[in-house]
Amino acid sequence: MNVQDTNTYVSQVRTQASNLVVTLHKMRSLRDKMDALDLGNTLTQGDIGGDNDGILIVDLVAVLGTTLEAFEGLMSSGHASNLHKIAIV
């Protein structure tokens, strides 16, 4: 790779690291809102439609629950530092 290609590659990695950091923060915010409004217990399938038709509440709760917690576990074990060292945020 020449210097320009290498710099482009590094910039792409940094951008994606930044996107991941931002996404995890946004997911945490959505989880906090879900908890505050008790959406995991109050939403019904009838509340979901349009482009989201067929999405199950149990799957939303799983993504904002165990899946997000798994990512946060990785972040707290040192991976957050790795991402923040190169992120453009």
Q: Kindly report whether the global pTM for this prediction surpasses the value 0.85.
A: yes
Per-residue pLDDT in tens (0 to 9) along the chain, 89 residues: 899 999 999 999 999 999 999 999 999 999 999 999 999 999 999 999 999 999 999 999 999 999 999 999 999 999 999 999 999 97
pLDDT value at position 1?
87
CA distances from 63 to 1, 10, 56, 88 (A): 39, 30, 11, 26
CA distances from 41 to 26, 51, 60 (A): 21, 22, 12
Q: Which of 35, 56, 37, 38 is nearest to 46 (CA)?
A: 56
Q: Which of 60, 71, 69 is nearest to 34 (CA)?
A: 60
Q: Which of 88, 28, 39 is nearest to 64 (CA)?
A: 28
